Amino acid sequence: MTETAHPAVSAEQAGIEQALTDQVVASFDGTPDPRLRQLMQALTRHLHAFIREVRLTEEEWNTAIEFLTAAGHITDDRRQEFILLSDVLGASMQTIAVNNEAVPGAERAATEATVFGPFFVDDAPEIPIGGDIAGGAHGQPCWVEGTVTDTRGNPIPGARIEVWEADDEGFYDVQYTDGRVAGRAHLYSDEEGRYAFWGLTPTPYPIPHDGPVGKMLAATNRSPVRASHLHFMVTAPGLRTLVTHIFVQGDPQIEIGDSVFGVKDSLIKDFDVQHAGTPTPDGRALGGDWARTRFDIVLAPAGA
Ligand code: BEZ
Ligand code: FE
């Protein structure tokens, strides 16, 4: 049986409610910027529709205000609870979907984008091709290699590739209080669009869940854990900036569910574990097991 969206209200009551929505929508009619007018009027319509659909109680309205107030209080330069909220509601991924449409007729599909997350840092150190991003972060060494091309398959030399990831305890450097810079770097693709670096095999970790968003996840029986991933941001002149991650094939958290809905099939890569003693691509001597993966990056044209 299909559930009705909300209990029926009398025609008179529905009229009162609709009149208020119309009044608030009309209050934005004089907004000089047409886009702002569109945003405010659509927001009003959807917000009012939500309140009417769920028949929001005044107590629930108060709880929502308290929740947003707590999100504001915990937010500072290092912690952004509103972005976390957007992430766990899928609003971040929906915005990314709307803004990163597939390029029609492309010979090669542009690499899919996913959430940025709160742990990017602007001034990560530069490494040469084949360099190591770990900077002391612990984890299994992982050789990452690939190419950067456009959607016609032309190599993109000099693309700036930012990479960042958590250590094997599930923490980014910025979550430690000692100012360390680890598990992040940037490098540039070579003349043939190739790149390679040593990173760490990614591990699953929870998003910060000691605040109101964490409480909301607990109350709704949802896990804060993200599927294991390695972040990339790739920029090149004339091409659309790509913010994405790669995920680890076989990571059980992919099936369980990524807390911010970031996983896309095309971004799940094989991370092949190599036993200790297997020669490394660059002759580096490693004491134990290591892994390797390949990620070929295709950038869409700017404005596509
Ligand atoms: C992250 O991948 O770093 C991340 C993304 C969304 C929320 C929290 C963390
Ligand atoms: Fe992350």
Q: Residue 146's pLDDT band (boundaries 50, 70, 90)?
A: very high
Give, to the nearest 10 degrees, the angle between helix 58-74 and helix 212-219. 140
Q: In whole angstroms, what is the distance from residue 211 CA to residue 264 CA?
A: 27
Instruction: Measure 282 CA to ligand 1 centroid, in angstroms.
Output: 31
Q: What percent of the chain has pLDDT over 90?
A: 90
Q: Residue 78's pLDDT band (boundaries 50, 70, 90)?
A: confident
**What was the pLDDT predicted at 6?**
57
Phi/psi of residue 60, nearest 5 degrees? -65, -40
Three-state SS for the chain is CCCCCCCCCCHHHHHHHHHHHHHHHHHCCCCCCHHHHHHHHHHHHHHHHHHHHHCCCHHHHHHHHHHHHHHHHHCCCCCCHHHHHHHHCCHHHHHHHHHCCCCCCCCCCCCCCCCCCCCCCCCCCECCCCCECCCCCCCCEEEEEEEEEECCCCECCCCEEEEECCCCCCCCHHHCCCCCCCCEEEEECCCCCEEEEEEECCCCEECCCCCHHHHHHHHCCCCCEECCEEEEEEECCCECCEEEEEEECCCHHHHHCCCCCCCCHHHEECCEEECCCCCCCCCCCCCCCEEEEECCEEECECCC
User: Domain spanning 98-299: which CATH class is it, in words?
Assistant: mainly beta
pLDDT score of 37 more than 50: yes
Q: Which ligand is closest in space to the CA of residue 203?
A: 2
Amino acid at 298: V
The residue among 143, 170, 278 whose CA lies nearest residue 224 is: 170
Is 119's C-beta closer than 6 angstroms to any atom of ligand 1? yes
Instruction: Measure 125 CA to ligand 2 centroid, in angstroms.
Output: 18
Q: What is the mean pLDDT of the chain?
A: 94
- Taking residues 34-44, what's their average pLDDT? 98
**What was the pLDDT predicted at 3?**
43
pLDDT score of 4 more than 50: no
Q: What percent of the chain has pLDDT over 70?
A: 98
Total length of the chain: 304
Ligand 1, atom 3, lies closest to the CA of: 117
Instruction: Measure 166 CA to ligand 2 centroid, in angstroms.
Output: 7
- Taking residues 222-234, what's their average pLDDT? 97
Ligand 1 pocket test: pick from 207, 223, 233 the residue with the most ligand atoms within 8 Å of its Cβ: 207
**What was the pLDDT predicted at 1?**
38
Is 225's C-beta closer than 6 angstroms to any atom of ligand 1? no
The residue among 49, 114, 95, 81 whose CA lies nearest residue 216 is: 81
- Taking residues 132-138, what's their average pLDDT? 95
Q: Which ligand is closest in space to the CA of residue 163?
A: 2
Instruction: Measure 207 CA to ligand 1 centroid, in angstroms.
Output: 6
**What was the pLDDT predicted at 225?**
96
- Taking residues 109-125, what's their average pLDDT? 94
Instruction: Measure 279 CA to ligand 2 centroid, in angstroms.
Output: 30
Whether 232 contacts 245, CB under 8 Å: yes
Give the residue, 71 or 80, on which the prediction is more confident.
71
Phi/psi of residue 273, nearest 5 degrees? -80, 135
The residue among 301, 144, 302 whose CA lies nearest residue 232 is: 144
Is 93's C-beta closer than 6 angstroms to any atom of ligand 1? no
Ligand 1 pocket test: pick from 75, 119, 163, 167 the residue with the most ligand atoms within 8 Å of its Cβ: 119
Ligand 1 pocket test: pick from 94, 217, 226 the residue with the most ligand atoms within 8 Å of its Cβ: 226
**What was the pLDDT predicted at 7?**
65
User: Which atom of ligand 1 approaches the CA of 207 most closely?
Assistant: 8
Is 174's C-beta closer than 6 angstroms to any atom of ligand 1? no
Is 248's C-beta closer than 6 angstroms to any atom of ligand 1? no
Q: State the CB neighbour count (10 A cutoff) for residue 96.
A: 18
pLDDT score of 68 more than 70: yes
Ligand 1, atom 5, lies closest to the CA of: 117
The residue among 144, 150, 117, 135 whose CA lies nearest residue 233 is: 117
- Taking residues 192-221, what's their average pLDDT? 97
Whether 163 contacts 185, CB under 8 Å: yes
For the stretch 20-25, contacts whose Cβ atoms lie closer than 8 Å and that sit 24 or more positions apart, written own/partner, are 20/48, 21/45, 21/48, 21/49, 24/48
Task: At 49, list the tokens.
Answer: 């529709």
- Taking residues 174-200, what's their average pLDDT? 95
Instruction: Measure 128 CA to ligand 1 centroid, in angstroms.
Output: 27
**What was the pLDDT predicted at 276?**
95
Q: In whole angstroms, what is the distance from residue 137 CA to residue 172 CA?
A: 9
**What was the pLDDT predicted at 8?**
84
